[in-house]
Amino acid sequence: MANKRTVIRLLQPADVPRVLAIYQDAFAGFPWYETLSDTELQARWKHDSEKAGFTAYVVEKDGLVVASGWHDAISIDQLRQERGNELADWVEQKLTTDPDRQVIWERELVVAQQYQRQRMATRLRGHSESNLKLSGNKFLILARIREDNIASIRSARRFGFSKTGVRQAASTKPLKHDYWYRELN
């Protein structure tokens, strides 16, 4: 039957409303249980999509977008501004022996609840990494994951991410966020 397949492709402008609906749905579930308003979603999207090097992919299953993930390129100065000195110093130290490595911030990975645990995140991460590798550059990929986000932690571990050791208090006390990294050659 037509469209009965799963494809991963670059996000098109027409996908944005659907991606924001997925974002809202994903964060309404485990472990967030947050009600993100349309205004909040629009603000987050504007913030993320205007970043340098913003790259977003979607997974389309049977003609319907069911998941999305996006990243951007970040400088040490921006990192310092956004995430504070501890992480920026850690990255700076990491890059002293490897200054050509480009720093990528994995901003978001969202899968509609109905499609979770069906390897959508795995496909997205795999696709994104393959495309980064094609560029021939070396990367340091960073992500922030709340310590109770088992799904996200398992996905990150599967792709070889490790903890930087830098932590940050989450808005939901006493939980913490960990900053994770992966070197991609």
Point out which residues bind ligand COA (CB under 6 A).
26-27, 30, 109-111, 116-122, 145, 149-152, 154-155, 158
Cβ neighbours for 47, distance < 8 A, ≥ 6 positions apart: none
Shortest reach from residue 61's CB to ligand COA, in Å: 11
Phi, psi of 115 (to 5 degrees): -110, 10
Q: Which is nearer to ligand COA, 140 or 145 (CB)?
A: 145
Q: For ligand COA, which is the closer residue by CB, 28 or 98? A: 28
CB of 21 to ligand COA, least distance (A): 13
CB closer to ligand COA out of 103 and 108: 108
Nearer to ligand COA, 44 or 138 (CB): 44
Given the structure tokens 């970043």, which residue do they identify?
Answer: 51
Which residues 6+ apart lie within 8 Å of 108 measured at CB?
Answer: 23, 48, 68, 69, 70
Alpha carbons 185 and 132: distance in angstroms, whole number: 9
Query: Do the strands 139-146 and 102-111 form a parallel or antiparallel pair, or are they unpaired?
Result: parallel
Shortest CB 100 distance to ligand COA, Å = 27
Query: Closest approach of Cβ 69 to ligand COA, in Å?
Result: 8
